[in-house]
Amino acid sequence: MTTTPFDPAGLLPAGRVITDSGRLASFAHDEAAGAPFGLPSAVVQPRDTAEVAAVVAYCAERGVPVVARGAGTGLSGGANAVDGCVVVSFAAMDHILRIDPDERLAVVQPGVVNDWLRAACADKGLWYPPDPASAPWSTIGGNVATNAGGVCCVKYGVTRDYVLGLEAVTGRGEVVRLGRQTAKSSAGFELAGLLVGSEGTLGLVTEITLRLRGERAQEHTVVGYFDDLPSAGRAVAHVVASGVVPSALELVDRYCLRAVDEWKNMGLTDGGNVLLLARCDAPGAAGVEEADTVLACFEAAGAAWSARSGDPAEADALFAARRLVYPALERQGMVLSEDICVPRTQVPEMLARLERTAERHDVHIAGLAHAGDGNLHPMLVVPRGDERELARGREVFEEVVDQAIELGGTVTGEHGVGLLKMRGLTRELSPAVLDLHRGIKQVWDPAGILNPGKVFAA
Amino acid sequence: MTTTPFDPAGLLPAGRVITDSGRLASFAHDEAAGAPFGLPSAVVQPRDTAEVAAVVAYCAERGVPVVARGAGTGLSGGANAVDGCVVVSFAAMDHILRIDPDERLAVVQPGVVNDWLRAACADKGLWYPPDPASAPWSTIGGNVATNAGGVCCVKYGVTRDYVLGLEAVTGRGEVVRLGRQTAKSSAGFELAGLLVGSEGTLGLVTEITLRLRGERAQEHTVVGYFDDLPSAGRAVAHVVASGVVPSALELVDRYCLRAVDEWKNMGLTDGGNVLLLARCDAPGAAGVEEADTVLACFEAAGAAWSARSGDPAEADALFAARRLVYPALERQGMVLSEDICVPRTQVPEMLARLERTAERHDVHIAGLAHAGDGNLHPMLVVPRGDERELARGREVFEEVVDQAIELGGTVTGEHGVGLLKMRGLTRELSPAVLDLHRGIKQVWDPAGILNPGKVFAA
């Protein structure tokens, strides 16, 4: 690839092309701790698909890398700039184009914030389930790029499960419409699903058609405190074996609880060392039965304290506390966040291995997990600017990734590969499968300009 | 591609290589009426992945086309032989390798029959939802190839929604493992989902990991008879607008009812001209409420007669009658079966257009539909061997396909493109999207040996 200077004059109105180096820096990376990034030569803020296509075509001709960017809340470095690239920010493409209650679908631009969409759907008695912790800030385009998950995904699936159709701009600058607006289709290859989770390496998504659900039934919350991780792990295994599929099953360990307490003084650590938060939402009496079953599972695993929460406000406060874990830990230093996912029956074993790994390396690994679907977010806090500790943390997590793969797991449950999981991906996927990735990339982006150097090596 | 004579001696044990021309003929086509087919040079019946890989590698070297075959129940010609090809029959790879209640997944070979798997799951209190009408005979491998749907898909989704992971042999003869065994993953491109519905053009699937659900709640059946299609269409629209997602919503018109009556004398036509069959399965009292809502929708649309069925045996008999429609019509001649899918609010409009189209061409179009998800199976019966009527029927259905596309629909809801929907697909997808198909095909199958001439033109 030959990189020639980028002169965007005339491509978009001047106000929507940023080349000021001071401002460029704020578009250089996402929230992945310690992932490398370069400096873009320009940031463009298109308002429609035609502008996106014009930018990509211009860059394809000149061999200029193009990095798509939503809200920059990613945790893998997928939106990190490559030196000299053009960052396409979707902040100005933030319209909800349609919410159709009868077809139960929404059509949105990629810059729509997840929570805005959820609120707009709720106004019409509809529900868009994927609820990443970043939902107040992250965009649907970013969620599509990483195939984002969230708390309710244990029962309701991830972003890909809700994408019916996409409009996208390929690396040639061509606009393509993929997928469907119907309930089902067997017409050709599932290219919309292929783009979901492709992290901007195959195309830039410019419009998204999403499947919606009807309004959610009432949720019943079950809270359990446990003395240690093994007993909390047993509780998770009991719930899995019970046949109940909760609409949330979250684990928060003592390091996480303490970090939130030190910040917000919520008294979370008073209850015990490990908190399990479950929700059940089967309609009517069935939901209450489900909650009772989960409570019995907690008790059978030796919960220090457990109860069905009768107070929705209290239950919401506990889930809000769970969302505060990451920012609370960030107050202590740079947070390395893992995203392994193991088969759900392996959660107790993976928790045990995490404890042994932490001991062996003499570090604290904070434990936060979507325990019900096996997606664990172990976190390491390292002093900001301490490159040696950062490197050591990364090595600890490479071990953790190997353990997850050994248990039949995957290197990323919902954050995406970006830059941080590239090494892990080469251990999860065979060389032949990685070759298929490269071949498919070549088809969509023959000039190799779309988010180069991410996910897999060219 | 240069086609050289195929001499399979030594590749598989002699008993599992068929070259006798009399026997070969029975592997030459699926059940698609009037789709062209050739004669294979051999049929092989591998027992494991290594044998499949050996056959494909052998064929790739020699440029011999390879056509994968499940039970041959397809309705689009996707499994039809190409002259001189090797048909890989998966009949001998019919083992259920694992059913895991805690992980809620099953691992199966492609030759496992859909109903066998469903029964084996039921024995363990689990449920594999996709239920195509061919379920007593069709194989999971075939269901994966076409992304098969079925009756309960209106609520529970199609085959792709249940495929977690696949093992497949690419056109190079390489064995690849795709997807995952975990609840979720964002690790690289969604290649398992890409293979689902690719109709044997990208790879031969040799093992499938399927997501399962817990045992189904009790179903409540609502039956409605209507005087005409418009009022039945209104009933469907009312159900869609009510917010209830039924676990089945099937439409059977007078031509279909009469065909079954003439065969089985079930008295189906006594009730009225158009039958709607709905099922609701929300747990507990919520399911009864749903059924009451559906019943009210039927009544509001002017049902001639409608009721909640109190008798499960009677309800099952009506659904069994619905499954008899296709064989009943086949007794009258060759059945051309359409598979369009329109946005569900467009079902009344599509039904009206079908009636007008039938009048204009002076034909009877029999109407069978998964009405709740907009997937319509209009059918035309033509005298066997009457090429002129066959050609006329095809032209009528090309019009129908155009109408479906015009309403925002797709040319195939669940049968796949095969040979019969290739023309339609070029109208549904843009040239750029078809080019992406060709490019991706080239990556998986550089020699172009896998099911050539199907789905899209090379």
Which residues of A fall within a CB distance of 8 Å from B178? 433
In whole angstroms, give the CA distance from residue A436 to residue A430.
10
Task: For residue B103, give the nearest of A185, A345, A375 by CB distance.
Answer: A345
**Band of residue B1 on the pLDDT scale cut at 50, 70, 90:** very low
Give the CATH class of B217-331.
alpha beta
Q: pLDDT at position A1, please?
A: 43
Q: pLDDT at position B312, please?
A: 87
Look up residue A17 and give its amino acid: V
For CA atoms A257, A262, A263, A269, the dihedral sign is positive
Backbone φ, ψ for residue A279 (5° rounding): -135, 145
In whole angstroms, give the CA distance from residue A369 to residue A377.
5
pLDDT digits over B437-448, tens only? Answer: 999 999 999 999
Q: How far is A267 from chain B (nearest CA, A)?
A: 33
**Model-level pTM greater than 0.95?**
yes
Task: For residue B158, give the nearest of A160, A184, A285 by CB distance.
Answer: A184
Tell the CATH topology of B333-447: Alpha-Beta Plaits (3.30.70)
Cβ contact B425–A102 (<8 Å): no
b/e map B95-122, b = 16+ CB within 10 Å: eeeebbbebbbbbbbbbbbbebbbebbe
Under-70 pLDDT residues of chain A: 1-6, 8-9
Helix (H) or strand (E) holding A376: strand A375-382
Instruction: Pick the residue from chain A with its C-alpha nearest to B245.
Output: A214
Taking the Cβ of residue A170 and every Cβ of chain B, the question of whether any pair is shorter than 8 Å is answered with yes
Tokens of A240: 């899995």
Whether the complex's predicted ipTM is more than 0.90 is answered with yes
Question: Which positions 136-155 of B are in contact with A (Cβ < 8 Å)?
Answer: 146-149, 153-154
Question: Which positions 319-378 of A are in contact with B (Cβ < 8 Å)?
Answer: 339, 341-345, 373-375
Task: For residue B436, give the nearest of A415, A428, A444 by CB distance.
Answer: A444
Dihedral in degrees, nearest 10, Cα atoms B415, B416, B419, B420: 50
In whole angstroms, give the CA distance from residue A254 to residue A257.
5
Taking the Cβ of residue B216 and every Cβ of chain A, the question of whether any pair is shorter than 8 Å is answered with no
Q: pLDDT at position A68, please?
A: 98
Q: pLDDT at position A3, please?
A: 45
Cβ contact A177–B411 (<8 Å): no
Q: pLDDT at position B3, please?
A: 45
Backbone φ, ψ for residue A67 (5° rounding): -120, 120
pLDDT digits over B301-340, tens only? Answer: 999 999 998 788 989 999 999 999 999 999 999 999 999 9
Q: Give me the percent of chain B exceeding a pLDDT of 90.
A: 93
Taking the Cβ of residue A447 and every Cβ of chain B, the question of whether any pair is shorter than 8 Å is answered with no
Q: pLDDT at position A404, please?
A: 98
Question: In this model, does residue B70 exceed pLDDT 80?
Answer: yes
Instruction: For tokens 């994968």, name the residue.
Output: B68
Tell the CATH topology of A14-89: 3.30.43
Task: For residue B412, give the nearest of A178, A186, A285 by CB distance.
Answer: A186
Q: pLDDT at position B2, please?
A: 45
Question: Which positions 379-418 of A are in contact with B (Cβ < 8 Å)?
Answer: 408-417
Relative orientation angle of helices B312-330 and B254-264, to the nearest 10 degrees: 90
Q: Is A106 helix (H, G, I), strand (E, B) or coil?
A: strand
pLDDT digits over B204-213, tens only? Answer: 999 999 999 9
Cβ contact A436–B243 (<8 Å): no
Give the CATH class of B96-214.
alpha beta
Cβ contact B186–A177 (<8 Å): no
User: Measured between alpha carbons, how far apart are the two ends of chain B, in Å?
Assistant: 12
Which residues of B fall within a CB distance of 8 Å from A342? 182
Q: pLDDT at position A5, please?
A: 54
Which residues of A fall within a CB distance of 8 Å from B428? 187-188
* Interior angle at CA A69, CA A68 and CA A70, nearest 5: 135
Contacts of A242 (CB under 8 A, 6+ apart): A293, A294, A297
Q: Hey, of A184, A216, A417, which one would you mutate to test binding to chain B, going by the most B CBs within 10 A of its CB?
A: A184
Q: Hey, of B156, B158, B169, B186, which one would you mutate to test binding to chain A, going by the most A CBs within 10 A of its CB?
A: B186
Q: Give me the percent of chain B exceeding a pLDDT of 70.
A: 98
Q: pLDDT at position A7, please?
A: 72
Q: How many CA atoms lie within 13 A of A407 on its CB side?
A: 26
Q: For residues B355-378, give the mean pLDDT.
A: 96
Q: Do domains A14-89 and A217-331 have the same CATH topology?
A: no
Backbone φ, ψ for residue B392 (5° rounding): -65, -45
pLDDT digits over A237-270, tens only? Answer: 999 999 999 999 999 999 999 999 999 999 999 9
Taking the Cβ of residue B102 and every Cβ of chain A, the question of whether any pair is shorter than 8 Å is answered with yes
Cβ contact A189–B183 (<8 Å): no
**Band of residue B279 on the pLDDT scale cut at 50, 70, 90:** very high
Question: In this model, does residue B191 exceed pLDDT 60?
Answer: yes
Helix (H) or strand (E) holding A259: helix A254-264
Contacts of A235 (CB under 8 A, 6+ apart): A224, A226, A276, A297, A298, A300, A301, A303
Q: pLDDT at position B9, please?
A: 66
Which residues of A fall within a CB distance of 8 Å from B196? 190
Instruction: Pick the residue from chain B with its C-alpha nearest to A154.
Output: B183
Task: For residue B154, give the nearest of A183, A373, A412 by CB distance.
Answer: A183
Task: For residue A284, give the nearest of B284, B345, B437 by CB distance.
Answer: B284
Cβ contact B153–A425 (<8 Å): no
Q: For residues B23-47, give the mean pLDDT.
A: 95
Pairing of strands A105-108, A96-100: antiparallel
Which residues of B fall within a CB distance of 8 Å from A288? none
**Band of residue B430 on the pLDDT scale cut at 50, 70, 90:** very high
On the 0-12 / 13-18 / 19+ scale of CB atoms within 10 A, A332 is middle
Taking the Cβ of residue A226 and every Cβ of chain B, the question of whether any pair is shorter than 8 Å is answered with no
Instruction: For tokens 């066959």, name the residue.
Output: B390
Domains of chain A, by residue range, sit at 14-89, 96-214, 217-331, 333-447
Reduce the secondary structure of B84-118 to three states and give it as a string: CCEEEECCCCCCEEEEECCCCEEEECCCCEHHHHH
Tokens of B340: 């369009």
